[in-house]
Structure 1
Amino acid sequence: MNNDRETIARLRERIPTFECTPGCHDCCGPVTTSSTEMSRLPVKTDAEHEAALNEFNCVHLGPKGCKVYEQRPLICRVFGTTPRMPCPNGCRPQEMIDTETEREIHHFIANTRQVLV
Structure 2
Amino acid sequence: MQAKLEHVNITVPDARATAQFLQTLLGWETRWEGAALNDGYTVHVGNERSYLALYSPKPDLKGQAPRYDHSGSLNHIGIVVDDLKAVEDKVAALGYIPHSHADYEPGQRFYFDGPDGVEYEMVSYD
TM-score computed with the length of structure 2 as normaliser: 0.27
User: If you compute each CA radius of gyration, which structure gives the higher value, 1 or 2?
Assistant: 2
Instruction: Specify which structure has the higher proportion of strand.
Output: 2
Relative contact order: is structure 1 or structure 2 higher (C-alpha 8 Å, sep ≥ 6)? Answer: 1
TM-score computed with the length of structure 1 as normaliser: 0.28
